[in-house]
Chains A and B, each alone.
Chain A
Amino acid sequence: MELTQDQLIKLYTLMVRTRKCDELIVNALKSGKAIGFFHSGQGSEAVPIGACTFNLRDDDYLYPHHRGHGIGYMLARGLSPKPFVASHMGRVAQDVEGPTARERGIHGGSGTIGASFVLSAGMGITAKKNGKNQITACFFGDGSANRGTLHEAMNLASVWKLPIVWVCENNLYAQYMPLKDSMAREDIADLASGYNMPGVIVDGQDVLAVHEAVKAAVDRARAGEGPSLVECKTYRYRGHSEGGPDISHYEPRPAKELEEWKKRDPIKLFRENLLQQGVLTDADVERIDKEIEAEAETLEKYADECPIPKPEDPSVLDRLLYAE
């Protein structure tokens, strides 16, 4: 099925929104408004948006990759960015409209990298057992592919033909570790043959290519033919985490590398494509930018007004600890 013009514009808009929300947190950390960590996903927006926006059913399970703290995945699933923004400021989101993350199959992310594989295997078991023809999409980084959990989960998923789509966001680095020094091969897609499943490599800067490749994998999983692996080649523009160095081992990452990748910026590439095809005009582009800029300003003001949690009675935590 070809994507309609509206769908193409939606993909574009979602990528721009993802970038904007990411920038918002980067700036809020700089100004001291945000707290904790942030791992920017700038440069890789085509992966979550291309993979998730039109390929998944509302009830499919999705394990987001940690970059951008999952904002691309949330937006692609139609979730409000309010909780994302508020929580990075240490605040409790108020008046959130639209579906919750749980209602769109997102059940959180792990502080320990690599939990994604095994938890997704479990979601795959659920999807296979419950007869609803759901699938599970698991997103992970090149670095996390070196956790042993990958092997255990991919093997199990293949043996049991679980309906799982494994999508790697290969940005060539894991914190300060370049891929070339942490893997004896260049392509993560090669792993697939070890588990007797299809493995494809896709240009992670091309949102339509990501969409297509993941669509094929989703269709296969939904047809009961088992898991597949899609590797998206991409890059992260910023350092591993805000406030930290931007290095490879202990030296600055090559400036040329960043320059080259920025020439293939996923938003820029798609915009040029849509302008050329006449799907978008320059005026459209400007309007979209303005709307998203305005949304970001509203979000920031909104977050300022959300309350900092202060339990009158700390035993409210009990409700979080155990179910009834």
Chain B
Amino acid sequence: MKEIRFVQAINEALEEELSRDEKVYIIGEDVQAGTFGVSTGLVHKFGPERIMDTPLSETVIAGAAVGSAMTGYRPVAEFMFADFMYVAGDEIFAKAAKWRFIHGGTVELPLVFMASMGGYAKLGAEHSQSPESMFMHTPGLKLVVPSTPYDAKGLMKSAIRDNNPVVYLFHKRLLGLKGEIPEEEYVVPLGQADIKREGTDVTVVATGMMVQFALKVAEELKEKVSVEVIDPRTLEPLDIDTIIESVKKTGRAIVVDEDTKRCGVASEIMAQIMELAFDYLDAPIQRIAAANYPIPGGFMEDYVLPQTKDIKAAIEAIAD
């Protein structure tokens, strides 16, 4: 094993896959420098033909990734901030997501849409969003939201090897997080949840930064409540079985989501728990998510985004 930061874990996955398959390339704004560091340095090894700096043109970054994927390449398209993916709405939600379906399954779209996501950096409404629910809502897109360096690397490798469009969102505040990964090559398959902490009293389901929040709270409460933290790791495909198994054991569930509460990822997971494990529940499921507002700039974001104290209060209340 070796210790590595989240940002290096993604970088390693990209490097390994670029080495493994010459059809893989990276396309986006400032990917040679790497705005967040995830693609930094790769240009030295692979050159500007495979680490492609584009003009400021998200629509063509997304659309060209689709066009190139359907004709034999495996692009990793980078959007810097997930907020900028909105600029390429049709290309992502209609072309990438639906093109295979509407062409009778004759088209393959092996591509990755990669971007930073999330708040807690005081960057305001258009550089802080967690848009998972939009992607999860859209049939045809897969969705990866890693929470540890180990998962970040293994899931990126799977995302690149997948023959479908995969949205890969890394949290900008997790990039410095350290964790252990094996020296040797490994992948983390899409669609397998991970039990990040075992417990018996309450199940907390979370992804991305919220996993780290939940783990912190679980540790703080360990004398009082035994918390099980489940990280689905990919929201599509969603490993609901692992979640349901946990809920059957604990009888209590809290879903934590950095995205807006209304119609968010938490709402969907909650609904599935209700459908599949209603008889096992000892208390109503709780949802901890962002308040139904845009994310305000500056210090005001604390009043909208979910905080560890909210998770703590919910666990204490549900375990009572």
Residues of A whose CB lies within 8 Å of any CB of B are 35-37, 87, 90-91, 110-114, 143-144, 146-148, 174-177, 181-183, 245, 247, 249-250, 308-311, 314, 317, 320-321
Q: Which residues of B contact A114 (CB under 8 A)?
A: 56, 87
- A247 x B33 contact (CB < 8 A): yes
- Cα–Cα distance between A147 and B48 once the two chains are bound (Å): 22
Q: Which residues of B contact A35 (CB under 8 A)?
A: 122, 298-299
Partner of A147, one of B57, B127, B300, B304: B57
Which chain A residue shows the least CB distance to B58? A147
Say how far A197's CB is from chain B's closest CB, in angstroms: 22
List 19 additional contacts besides A146-B56, A314-B303; criterion CB under 8 Å: A35-B122, A87-B297, A90-B122, A90-B298, A111-B127, A112-B84, A112-B126, A114-B87, A146-B57, A147-B57, A147-B58, A174-B29, A247-B33, A249-B33, A250-B40, A309-B298, A310-B299, A317-B293, A321-B294
7 shortest A-B CB distances, which residue pairs? A111-B126, A146-B55, A90-B298, A182-B55, A143-B56, A250-B33, A176-B30
- A36 x B33 contact (CB < 8 A): no
- Cα–Cα distance between A250 and B48 once the two chains are bound (Å): 11
User: Which residues of chain B in 110-160 are interfacial with respect to chain A, using CB atoms and an 8 Å cutoff?
Assistant: 121-127
- B56 x A182 contact (CB < 8 A): yes
Given contacts A144-B56, A177-B55, contact A36 B298 (CB under 8 A): yes
- Cα–Cα distance between A197 and B59 once the two chains are bound (Å): 26
- A317 x B298 contact (CB < 8 A): no
Q: Which residues of B contact A110 (CB under 8 A)?
A: 126
User: Which residues of chain B in 293-318 are interfacial with respect to chain A, using CB atoms and an 8 Å cutoff?
Assistant: 293-294, 296-300, 303-304
- Can you report 21 residue pairs joining A to B where beta carbons are below 8 Å apart? A35-B122, A35-B298, A35-B299, A37-B127, A87-B298, A112-B86, A147-B56, A147-B59, A148-B60, A174-B55, A176-B32, A177-B30, A181-B53, A308-B299, A309-B299, A311-B300, A314-B291, A314-B303, A314-B304, A320-B293, A320-B296
Given contacts A35-B298, A247-B33, contact A177 B53 (CB under 8 A): yes
- Interface flag for B35 (CB, 8 Å): yes
Interface of A is mostly: loop
Q: Which residues of A contact B60 (CB under 8 A)?
A: 148
- Interface flag for B43 (CB, 8 Å): yes
- Cα–Cα distance between A177 and B124 once the two chains are bound (Å): 24
- Interface flag for B83 (CB, 8 Å): yes
Q: Which residues of B contact A37 (CB under 8 A)?
A: 123, 127
- Work out how many contacts link A and B, with CB atoms closer than 8 A: 98
- B55 x A245 contact (CB < 8 A): no
Say how far A82's CB is from chain B's closest CB, in angstroms: 16
- A177 x B298 contact (CB < 8 A): no
- A250 x B56 contact (CB < 8 A): no
Please indicate which of the listed interface residues B40, B126, B300 has the most CB atoms of chain A within 10 Å of its own CB.
B300
Say how far B78's CB is from chain A's closest CB, in angstroms: 13
Q: Which residues of A contact B300 (CB under 8 A)?
A: 309, 311
- B33 x A176 contact (CB < 8 A): yes
Say how far B56's CB is from chain A's closest CB, in angstroms: 4
Q: Which residues of A contact B294 (CB under 8 A)?
A: 321
- A111 x B124 contact (CB < 8 A): yes
- Cα–Cα distance between A177 and B297 once the two chains are bound (Å): 27
Which chain B residue shows the least CB distance to A240? B30
User: Which residues of chain B in 31-46 are interfacial with respect to chain A, using CB atoms and an 8 Å cutoff?
Assistant: 32-35, 40, 43
- Cα–Cα distance between A269 and B272 once the two chains are bound (Å): 67
- Cα–Cα distance between A300 and B296 once the two chains are bound (Å): 23
- A317 x B30 contact (CB < 8 A): no
Q: Which residues of B contact A147 (CB under 8 A)?
A: 56-59, 87
- A311 x B56 contact (CB < 8 A): no
- Cα–Cα distance between A36 and B126 once the two chains are bound (Å): 12
Q: Which residues of A contact B83 (CB under 8 A)?
A: 111-112
Say how far B72's CB is from chain A's closest CB, in angstroms: 26
Q: Which residues of B contact A247 (CB under 8 A)?
A: 33
- A111 x B298 contact (CB < 8 A): no
- B32 x A249 contact (CB < 8 A): yes
Say how far A83's CB is from chain B's closest CB, in angstroms: 12
Given contacts A176-B33, A317-B296, contact A36 B55 (CB under 8 A): no
User: Which residues of chain B in 53-81 are interfacial with respect to chain A, using CB atoms and an 8 Å cutoff?
Assistant: 53-60
